[in-house]
């Protein structure tokens, strides 16, 4: 009897030990599945909306391809001309803090930019739709009351209704500049700003601090404090625009970029597809730095890279790389510009590239043909998808082995039904030494900017893969 009791007791003990071990194992497994280190950190982002997207207030469902391309060309030309105009002002000795020069903006309202950013401002949050510009530093929005402002696609921001809004005050003294902002101190002690554009548009207002609400990649919200934000109360000139302001990603110390850590990345997808919805902008330490690395230099708030050569297929073109060099006087150079659609290239390099492309297209397409409005474009009769499927890729070789590769949809555009054109132009006669790598060349790439580190990262990828 005693033997039986002992056997039963040992059986119960072994069963209890087995249950405890099983419980501990299952608990450890559950913890391993839920531990934060096993998940990716969320990123602070803003959704980018292409100007011709169905999500844009400028979407024209009945516009022809020809009409859309004309608008893009006019915007690109106007933008490059204005960039050169601004560079000329500073290259002639103007200080970056001179009020008269600080008031010169980059984007005219009627020109617009390539992408709009969707975010919110204030507490409670008010949705905003802002022009995105890597060539401007001051971020500003239209505010109630606003004299001369047009009806915009999103509600106009009313600072009196935001608990997080604080106007910047100052003391007018020996310096007329308001600390680290782009403003000047008024007699009343308000920090004021003025932005004037080449087309006569003028935006005026006050500098303030406010909360900007961005998105996160895990579908949350990220409120961030912005010390320098322009609140515009006067908008003279062109008034047919529907965005609510401008998101400046330039390199001056008062830019949103600098206030969020000096790092950002952007990813552009298929610009020819109005339904594409995965374009994105990422700020701060969460910016995506993958792929090839190349040095980047900032000059007057613009981003410059070193272009060492160009290849078409396996053939490297005979181009002297010194033609792309940024000169000591500030002229020339190769700018990466997210606001310009087409790529424009210093003529000595463009002529060589055009000659090579033309020699290939002459073999199987009818042309070249000329548009009187855009006589410098290389155009042929044909369809990009049908006729250029085997055309060799064109590679822009940047310093330290980084490449930006242009496939047929980045190198060419369907200008109109039955006609295609090269999406690279010769530099404008007013900016003959400047090369600008535009948005079409950057599509299907994530581009990361590490300003303090002096590096740019380029990775060819479908932007949709970066959304999680």
- Quickly count: other Cβ atoms within 10 Å of residue 133's Cβ: 26
On whether the CB atoms of residues 142 and 244 are closer than 8 A, the answer is yes
Nearest to 455 by CA among 270, 264, 309, 276: 264
Q: End-to-end CA distance of the chain: give it in Å, rounded.
A: 66
Structure tokens at 468: 């999680």
On whether the CB atoms of residues 416 and 64 are closer than 8 A, the answer is yes
d(CA 56, CA 50): 7
On whether the CB atoms of residues 170 and 187 are closer than 8 A, the answer is no
On whether the CB atoms of residues 182 and 97 are closer than 8 A, the answer is no
Residues in a beta bridge with 436: 335, 344
User: Active-site residues: which are they?
Assistant: 133, 337
Mention every residue, 6+ apart, whose C-beta is less than 8 A from residue 165. Answer: 122, 159, 208, 209, 210, 231
Phi, psi for residue 86 in degrees, rounded to 5 = -65, -45
d(CA 408, CA 390): 9
> What is the dihedral sign for C-alpha 442, 448, 449, 455?
negative
What is the distance, to the nearest Å, from the Cα of residue 177 to the centroid of all Cα atoms in its chain? 28
């Amino acid at each position: 009897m005693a033997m039986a009791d002992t056997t039963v007791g040992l059986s119960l003990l072994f069963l209890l030990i087995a249950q405890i071990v099983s419980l501990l194992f299952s608990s450890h497994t559950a913890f391993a599945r839920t531990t934060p280190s096993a998940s990716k950190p969320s990123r602070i982002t803003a959704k980018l909306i292409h100007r011709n997207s169905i999500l844009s207030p400028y979407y024209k469902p009945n516009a022809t391809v020809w009409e859309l391309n004309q608008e893009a060309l006019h915007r690109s030309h106007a933008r490059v001309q204005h960039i050169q105009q601004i560079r000329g002002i500073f290259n002639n000795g103007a200080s970056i803090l001179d009020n008269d020069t600080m008031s010169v903006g980059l984007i005219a309202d009627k020109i617009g930019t390539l992408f709009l950013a969707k975010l919110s401002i204030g507490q409670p949050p008010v949705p905003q739709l802002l022009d995105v510009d890597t060539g401007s530093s001051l971020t500003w929005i239209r505010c109630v009351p606003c004299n001369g402002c047009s009806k915009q696609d999103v509600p106009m921001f009313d600072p009196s209704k935001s608990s997080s809004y604080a106007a910047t005050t100052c003391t007018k003294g020996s310096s007329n500049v308001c600390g680290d902002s782009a403003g000047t101190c008024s007699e009343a002690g308000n920090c004021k700003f003025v932005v004037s554009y080449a087309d006569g548009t003028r935006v005026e207002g006050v500098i303030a601090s406010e909360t900007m609400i961005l998105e996160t990649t895990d579908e949350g919200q990220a409120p961030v404090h912005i010390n320098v934000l322009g609140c515009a109360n006067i908008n003279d000139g062109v008034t047919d625009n529907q965005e609510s302001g401008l998101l400046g990603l330039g390199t001056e110390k008062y830019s949103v970029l600098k206030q969020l850590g000096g790092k950002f990345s952007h990813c552009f997808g298929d610009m020819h597809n109005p339904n594409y919805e995965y374009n994105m902008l990422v700020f701060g330490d969460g910016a995506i730095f993958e792929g090839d690395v190349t040095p980047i230099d900032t000059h007057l708030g613009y981003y410059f890279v070193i272009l060492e050569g160009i290849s078409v297929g396996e053939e490297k073109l005979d181009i002297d790389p010194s033609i792309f060099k940024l000169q000591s006087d500030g002229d020339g150079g190769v700018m990466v510009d997210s606001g310009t659609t087409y790529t424009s290239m210093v003529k000595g390099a463009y002529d060589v590239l055009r000659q090579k492309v033309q020699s290939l297209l002459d073999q199987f397409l009818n042309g070249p043909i000329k548009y009187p409005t855009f006589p410098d474009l290389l155009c042929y009769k044909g369809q990009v998808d049908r006729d250029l499927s085997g055309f060799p890729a064109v590679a822009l070789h940047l310093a330290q082995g980084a490449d930006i590769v242009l496939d047929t949809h980045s190198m060419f555009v369907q200008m109109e039904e039955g006609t295609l054109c090269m999406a690279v132009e010769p530099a404008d006669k007013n900016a003959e030494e400047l090369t600008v790598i535009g948005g079409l060349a950057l599509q299907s790439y994530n581009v990361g900017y590490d300003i303090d580190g002096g590096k740019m990262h380029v990775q060819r990828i479908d932007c949709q893969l970066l959304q999680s």
